[in-house]
Amino acid sequence: MTGLLWEDTMDFWQDKKVFVTGGTGLLGSTVVKKLVENKADVVCLVRDWVPTSELFKKKNPIIGNVSIVSGSITDQALIERVIGEYETEVVFHIAAQTIVGVANKNPLSTFESNIKGTWTILESCRRNPAVNSVLVASSDKAYGCQNLPYTEEASLNGTFPYDVSKSCADLLSQSYAKTYGLPVSVTRCANFYGCGDLNWNRIIPGTIRSVIRGISPEIRSDGTMVRDYLYIEDAADGYLSLAQHLAEDKDKFRGEAFNLATGHPLTVTEVVKKVLDLMDSTLKINIRNCASNEIQAQWLSAEKANRLLNWRPAHSLEEGLNKTIAWYREYLK
């Protein structure tokens, strides 16, 4: 949770004109939900209509309070029009191709979305002086392989296609901050999980669905890969906190990167076993050991976000998983 008082947060976001890319995804839809709750005036860029997304659910009160623009993140003319015509003040650039396996199979489309999409947003914001805060979603993968835990001072050493795309997006953001004074900050986050994630390739939603259906959950790797898992509501709180800090103190936060994580890494097998325990399941795990081009161990230090944003995760892994499991039980019943 952030260190800002709820009233202060509400006052800042009320009627604020906000542009969010990637609003149909897990993080994007959660950020949009929190912005609407804080009474912001939100515009979402949507490439595809995704009826299963939280953003588009018929009973979801969010959709009636959000303007939707259809198009590609790489369409410079479209992005400039949206930012200009909607008088955008804050931009959350979250749209990306986020799956490592897809990036390995389709590197060019991943580079197009994650790299060109980022420079399109940055250049459009540079040309519109009304924008006073830009957040770009990078990733812990941007660090590549190096000493753990990753801190923000570490170099960006992406090797595999997805990792490289995030390193490039990250460096582009820093370049625009230093060269043009663009008020942009970067987030590098641990692995997300939470209510509404319908990407079944991810280990937590995939495992929960398997257990609900009585099927042995699968692990694509050998199960020893180490990751940090961050509940999506906590991540979204961190995004809103950083955007507000940046808008209110550009000199301090411009060009800065922030890790958002719990600091409690686990192996993939440990996470799957945790889900099985919480769901009272005795199913055996099917370890396929077929994953490739993935970093063996990654976790982050969030000390900088703790200190400068007064941000800390509000949910333990067990609390977050219990909420997530309950959501999937309702969704899949």
Would you say the C-alpha torsion 172, 178, 179, 183 has a positive or negative sign? positive
Note whether residue 150 is domain-resident. yes
d(CA 309, CA 254): 14
Averaged pLDDT of the chain: 92
Residue range(s) defining the domain that contains residue 162: 6-192+231-263+298-313
Q: Is the pLDDT confidence value at 4 over 60?
A: no
Least confident segment among 43-57, 243-257, 269-283: 43-57
Percentages helix, strand, coil for the chain (3-state, rounded to 5) are 45, 15, 40
pLDDT digits 0-9 by tens, 124-149: 999 999 999 999 999 999 998 889 99
State how many domains the chain has.
Answer: 1
Task: Confirm if 115 and 170 have CB atoms less than 8 A apart.
Answer: no
Burial of 258-276, coded b for 16+ CB within 10 Å and e otherwise, reads: bbbbbbebbbbbebbbbbb
Task: Confirm if 127 and 176 have CB atoms less than 8 A apart.
Answer: no
pLDDT digits 0-9 by tens, 78-112: 999 999 999 999 999 999 998 888 899 999 999 99
Would you say the C-alpha torsion 113, 119, 122, 128 has a positive or negative sign? negative
Note whether residue 149 is domain-resident. yes
Note whether residue 225 is domain-resident. no
Residue 325: name the closest of 191, 208, 174 by CA: 208
Residue 299: name the closest of 204, 205, 225, 200 by CA: 225
Note whether residue 207 is domain-resident. no
Note whether residue 276 is domain-resident. no
Listing DSSP states for 124-138 in one string gives: HHHT-TT--EEEEE-
pLDDT digits 0-9 by tens, 150-165: 999 999 999 999 999 9
For residue 17, give both structure tokens.
């004109």
Single pTM value for the model = 0.92
Q: What percent of the chain has pLDDT over 70?
A: 92
d(CA 69, CA 309): 31
**Structure confidence at residue 53 (pLDDT):** 64
Q: What is the CATH number of the domain that holds 18?
A: 3.40.50.720
> What are the beta bridge partners of residue 19?
43, 91
Active site residues: 162
Least confident segment among 5-9, 143-147, 224-228, 327-331: 5-9
List all residues 6 or more positions away from 129 whose beta carbon is below 8 Å from its beta carbon: none
Note whether residue 26 is domain-resident. yes
Note whether residue 40 is domain-resident. yes
Note whether residue 29 is domain-resident. yes
